[in-house]
Amino acid sequence: MDDTLVLIGQSYIQNDLLEQVPSGPVRTEIFGEERSVTRSEWYEGGREGMKPECLFITPSVNYSGQQEAELHGRRFRIYRTYRCRETDETELYLEEQAGVADGKDTY
pLDDT tens digits, 26-46 = 999 999 999 999 999 888 888
Q: How far, in Å, CA of 21 to CA of 46, rounded?
A: 35
How remote is the C-alpha of 36 from its chain's centroid?
15
This prediction has a pTM of: 0.80
Q: What is the pLDDT of residues 41-75, one digit of tens each?
A: 888 888 888 889 999 999 999 999 999 999 999 99
Q: How many CB atoms lie within 10 A of CB 8?
A: 19
